[in-house]
Amino acid sequence: MSSSDEEGSGEEYLFKIVIIGDSAVGKSNLLSRYARNEFNAHSKATIGVEFQTQSTEIDGKEVKAQIWDTAGQERFRAVTSAYYRGAVGALIVYDITRKTTFESVGRWLDELKTHSDAAVAMMLVGNKCDLENIRSVSVEDGRSLAEAEGLFFMETSALDSTNVKKAFELVIQEICNNVS
């Protein structure tokens, strides 16, 4: 998805990125940390699909990422095809303290692949790495799943900001590589 800049100040890109993964893994907080530098300890699922647009500069060009967050429908396994439509990037998130959320990654990947184009830049994200004391998924398990599935991999913390900007910007960089 790209469009030319109406003001004529050069090229401008707009990329759709989706965040998927089980309920309560920290998807909404990863987005709010990245887009607004905010964290909410008691975040509730919002009503209706939401996205935020965040600009960043890649290789001297302004790139706008339209980042979509589920509105809690993942709880009912009811993320619709409209959510995925046109996505060129995806963060598949699990919670390093809950193994079941890691075991769901395969299902999310299947759904992503069913509903989107072949060239989607994908990052596996193990979130809540600040909770090392109650970790139940090893870094190694995360990394080897990512390798097996051909995904980038990063552990993040939306709470203390570890790797949040890096994870989004690596996906955006890869999308730029894919289109140019």
118 three-state secondary structure = coil
Q: Return all residues near 158 (Cβ < 8 A) that are at least 6 apart.
A: 26, 29, 30, 32, 33, 39, 127, 128, 164
Q: Which residue is nearest to Mg ion (CB)?
A: 28
Tally of CA atoms within 13 A in the half-sphere of 94 that contains its CB = 28
Q: Looking only at residues 100 through 159 of this chain, which bind ligand GDP when binding is defined by CB under 6 A?
A: 127-128, 130-131, 157-159
Select the span of 25-33, 60-68, 134-142, 149-157 touching Mg ion (CB under 5 A).
25-33
Beta bridge partners of 13: 2, 63
Contacts with ligand GDP, 6-45, as mask; x by CB under 6 A: -----------------xxxxxxx----------xx-x--
Which of 13/142 has CB closer to ligand GDP? 142
- Phi, psi of 170, rounded to the nearest 5 degrees: -70, -40
DSSP 53-78: EEEEEETTEEEEEEEEE--SGGGGT-
Which of 32/63 has CB closer to Mg ion? 32
Considering only CA atoms, which of 72, 34, 60, 50 is closest in space to residue 171?
Answer: 34
Verify binding: residue 28, Mg ion, rule CB under 5 A. yes
Select the span of 23-31, 60-68, 75-83, 101-109 touching Mg ion (CB under 5 A).
23-31
Which of 159/176 has CB closer to ligand GDP? 159
Instruction: Write down the least CB distance from residue 177 to ligand GDP, Å.
Output: 28
Q: If you count DSSP H runs as helices and E runs as strands, how many of each does the chain have, helices first?
A: 6, 7
Tokens of residue 118, six digits: 């072949």
Q: Which residue is nearest to ligand GDP (CB)?
A: 26
Which one of ligand GDP, Mg ion, none interacts with residue 41, CB within 5 to 8 A by kind?
ligand GDP
Chain contacts with ligand GDP (rule: CB under 6 A): 23-29, 40-41, 43, 127-128, 130-131, 157-159
Chain contacts with Mg ion (rule: CB under 5 A): 27-28
